[in-house]
Structure 1
Amino acid sequence: MQHLRLTPKTLALLVGHGLLLVAGSVAAQTVYRSVGPDGRVTFSDRPPPPTAAGQATARPSPQGSASASGPALPYALQQVVNRFPVTLYTGADCTPCDSARQLLLARGVPFTERTVNSNDDIEALRRLSGDTSLPFGSIGGQQLKGFSDLEWSQFLDAAGYPSTSQLPAQYRPAAPTPLVAVRTPMAPASATAPPAPAKAAPAPPPAPPNPAGITF
């Protein structure tokens, strides 16, 4: 599977020759998310191989048509989201991460935010980007390491994201989630109830009276 790698220059040329109109013909298709054995997350318009249960799992593009229960995105913006989904990887106490997030929010860019806090998160980020520096972002197949307002803005412009927000007033971004899902430990099996105490043996019946009338 080939990934389209964005550069401001190449996308500007594509727009100039009208080739993005051809690419747009697949924009309405479902975007599938698959995780390889090495932990790398890839996006494609082709379904991944069947899972162990025999089902191919479809994943809507990040923020899909809207947030979890919010209104649908404007059509033109939805087309861009389908072609060039944006994912932001952030950490705690990371000022550049806050700046990257603020840029996306100010421009009204729907994005998925993944937090990198645990050792598992850090290792997954290393496999994904080849580094552990934050913030880290992706716009379609283009990776952005560190934050530069100018660089990020150029790639967002080249992908076709609007410079000012076009999101519905009721739109709310989804909450950030860990890069590696937290597994909740299974509750231990409940202890077997102790067996009920054995019933006491019934008392023997009283001896019958001495028929012979013998006393001692």
Structure 2
Amino acid sequence: MHHLQKILTVALMAGALASSGALAEQMYKWTGADGKINYTDTPPPATARSSESQGAPVAAIDATALPYELARAAKNFPVVLYTMKACVPCDSGRAYLSRRGIPFTEKTVTSAADTDRMKQAGGDGTMPMLLVGRSKQTGFESGAWDAMLTVAAYPANNQLPSGYRNPSASAAAPVADKVQAEAVDPVSPPSRRPSPSTPTGKPDSGFRF
């Protein structure tokens, strides 16, 4: 029964990954003429008031430096790892990806804006979170991660060229998002207390009745 459940799990992952295909490479966030924020996998229309692209984590990975099989998997099903500080499972997940030779982009969650971006990507607060294309796994579990990567056609053995380095970890939210978040909730200036009024009458003799 356990073996059958594992087969069904892998089959479901295969379906999810196959349906995502190359669409997993790019997502767009844009504001329409009515002020509504939209998220689509196609470029925004010319009438969009503002737009930005997101969800293309492998942009900094030089696929041309990778073996064909690995480069194809990285292009079709980019791997993104969301981590946070003082997180032992995050360290274990990062080490696992390195041992298997998976090119990945690491996104750190250290602020409210980072948390919002992590939730937009499907996170529920459980760390680490692994994205393989549009499939996700929260928490580190080597068996589940291994199955996701295998279904996405990543090689079972480390094929990374000698000396290859993944891009440095960066914040999950762009700097612009953090600046905007700070602008929405500015620090209130300290209130000014009125100066105590000068007492009138005779000076205090030090006695109290």
Which of 108, 112, 122 lines up with 2:101 in the alignment? Answer: 108
Q: Say if 1:11 and 1:120 are closer, same or farther in 2 by CA, change over 3 A.
A: closer
For 2:51 and 2:117, the matched residues in 1 are separated by 25
> Which range moves more in the overlay, 80-89 or 175-184?
175-184
| Cα deviation digits, residues 64-84 of structure 1 (max 9, x gap) | 6528xxx61111111111111
Query: In the alignment, which residue of structure 1 is the partner of 2:120?
Result: 127
Are 1:146 and 2:142 an aligned pair?
A: no
| Cα deviation digits, residues 109-154 of structure 1 (max 9, x gap) | 1111100001111222233325122111111111111110111111
Query: In the alignment, which residue of structure 1 is the partner of 2:130?
Result: 137
Q: Report the 3-state secondary structure (helix = DSSP H, G, I; strand = E; otherwise coil) of the residue aligned with 2:120.
A: helix
> Any gaps of 5 or more consecutive residues in structure 2?
1-8, 180-209
For 1:159 and 1:150, the matched residues in 2 are separated by 14
CA shift at 1:31, angstroms? 3.7
For 1:142 and 1:66, the matched residues in 2 are separated by 22
Identity %: 33
Tell me, yes or no, if the aligned pair for 2:13 and 2:135 is still in contact at 8 Å: no
Which of 16, 29, 46 lines up with 1:35 in the alignment? Answer: 29
**What is the Cα-based RMSD across aligned positions, in Å?**
3.8
- Which one has the bigger helix percentage? 2
Q: Which amino acid counterpart does residue 32 of structure 1 have in structure 2? A: Q
For 1:74 and 1:87, the matched residues in 2 are separated by 20
Tell me, yes or no, if the aligned pair for 1:63 and 1:173 is still in contact at 8 Å: no
Q: Report the 3-state secondary structure (helix = DSSP H, G, I; strand = E; otherwise coil) of the residue aligned with 1:9.
A: helix
Q: Say if 1:57 and 1:130 are closer, same or farther in 2 by CA, change over 3 A.
A: closer
Larger radius of gyration between Structure 1 and Structure 2: 1
Q: Report the 3-state secondary structure (helix = DSSP H, G, I; strand = E; otherwise coil) of the residue aligned with 1:151.
A: helix
CA shift at 1:170, angstroms? 2.9
Tell me, yes or no, if the aligned pair for 1:63 and 1:174 is still in contact at 8 Å: no
Which of 48, 58, 62 lines up with 1:66 in the alignment? Answer: 62
> Which range moves more in the overlay, 48-57 or 91-100?
48-57
Query: In the alignment, which residue of structure 1 is the partner of 2:11?
Result: 9
Aligned residues: 164
Q: Report the 3-state secondary structure (helix = DSSP H, G, I; strand = E; otherwise coil) of the residue aligned with 1:144.
A: strand
TM-score using structure 1 length: 0.61
Query: In the alignment, which residue of structure 2 is the partner of 1:49?
Result: 44
> Any gaps of 5 or more consecutive residues in structure 1?
1-6, 15-19, 186-216
Q: Say if 1:180 and 1:83 are closer, same or farther in 2 by CA, change over 3 A.
A: same
For 1:139 and 1:36, the matched residues in 2 are separated by 24
| Cα deviation digits, residues 1-20 of structure 1 (max 9, x gap) | xxxxxx52246699xxxxx7
Q: Say if 1:96 and 1:55 are closer, same or farther in 2 by CA, change over 3 A.
A: closer
TM-score using structure 2 length: 0.63
Query: In the alignment, which residue of structure 2 is the partner of 1:83?
Result: 76
Q: Report the 3-state secondary structure (helix = DSSP H, G, I; strand = E; otherwise coil) of the residue aligned with 2:175.
A: coil
